[in-house]
Amino acid sequence: MVKWQGGRRGGVEDRRGMGAGTAIGGGGIGMVLIALVGYFVFGIDPQVLLSQTGGTQGEQQQVGVSNPDDEAAAFADVIHTSANDVWTGIIRGYRPSTLVLYTGGTQTACGSGQAAMGPFYCPADERVYLDLSFAHTLEQQLGAKGDFALAYVIGHEVGHHVQTLTGASAEVQKARQNSSERVANAMSVKLELQADCYAGIWARRSDAQMNWLEAGDLEEAIGAAEAVGDDTLQKRSSGQVVPDSFTHGTSAQRVHWFRQGYDSGDPNACDTFRS
């Protein structure tokens, strides 16, 4: 178990208990399937979901205060803060992301966010959205056990924030608009694998700072990366694997790039677009 209790807490936007927000509307079972696919691969791009649901800009919401005795929220806060601290030391002028905790659903600048989407990052408001019930799903349904499995997820989402700041996300989004579905999916895979690599960088550098990883923690992150590979999820859901439909990468790819980031600790080793 990662020794997180001594970590710094930067604070969160706590929207838990404020209602489920706007439910995903339209699209029938097709939209439900889109949400579920996003759920099992750590969240689809919420801007894609917005374009298909007709969602609106998120409304300003009152910010609650996490109970200091709420261990799950404290853990997420410490991990998210650590990721921002690591990237502050890497990128000059780094602007930290904000962690939003919610229950069921919430409005975002990318449209209506739902727990069924899994943890996700919205580039329009630079926030990482997390329904803490995902920790249970991660362990019970995906078989990724241990607290560092969830830590990897948070590190991956902060990796998407880094991509927003570097311009990588915008470049991919622009390129996807003029590409076939197969090519667009391939570009999404490269973006997701880079976020995995960035999560590995955070794991290594945070441990160098905090000396907080214990035996088995790294394996928990690797287990989570392996559990959410497109091929593994497709085999589990339908028994068939369709490579052209991959959007996040195979289990082997996700593990490889997480390890690449962890072993190197160097963002220059995370150029998935040229590999």
**The one-letter amino acid at 166:** T
CA 241 – CA 58 distance, rounded (Å): 36
Rg (CA), the chain: 17
In a domain, 148, yes or no: yes
User: Domain for residue 8, yes or no?
Assistant: no
pLDDT, averaged across the chain:
82
Query: Torsion-angle region of residue 54: left (phi > 0), alpha (psi -120 to 50) or beta?
Result: left
**How much is the pLDDT for 140?**
81
Residue 90 belongs to a domain: yes
With cut-offs at 50, 70 and 90, classify the pLDDT of residue 92: very high
Whether residue 74 contacts residue 9, with contact meaning beta carbons closer than 8 Å, is answered with yes
pLDDT tens string 31-70: 333 343 443 444 444 444 444 343 433 333 444 455 655 8
How far CA 21 is from CA of 61, 122, 142, in Å, comes to: 11, 16, 26
Range of the domain at 179: 13-270
Per-residue pLDDT tens digits for 122-152: 999 999 999 998 888 888 877 788 888 999 9
Q: How far apart are CA 190 and CA 160, in angstroms?
A: 12
Of 57-66, 105-114, 255-264, the range with the lowest mean pLDDT is 57-66
CA distance 15 to 103: 7
- 7 found inside a domain: no
Distance in angstroms between the alpha carbons of the first and the last residue of the chain: 33
pLDDT at res. 114: 84
Q: Quick one: three-class SS letters along 108-127?
A: ECCEEEEHHHCCEEECCCCE
Q: What are the residue ranges of helices labelled H in the chain?
A: 28-40, 46-53, 71-88, 134-140, 147-166, 168-177, 181-210, 217-227, 230-237, 251-264
Return the HEC string of 32-57: HHHHHHHHHCCCCCHHHHHHHHCCCC
- Residues 114 and 182: their CA atoms lie apart, in Å, by 27
Specify if 25 maps to a domain.
yes
Structural domains in the chain (count): 1
pLDDT at 116: 78
198 closest CA partner among 123, 271, 249: 271
Instruction: Assess if residue 3 is contained within a domain.
Output: no
Q: How far from the centroid of its chain's Cα atoms is residue 260's Cα?
A: 18
pLDDT at 19: 60
Residue 158 · residue 97 · CB < 8 Å: yes
Residue 150 lies in a domain: yes
Domain assignment present for residue 275? The answer is no
Q: Predicted confidence band at 94 (pLDDT cuts at 50, 70, 90)? A: very high
pLDDT 10s digits, 199-243 = 999 999 999 998 888 889 899 999 999 988 889 888 888 888 999
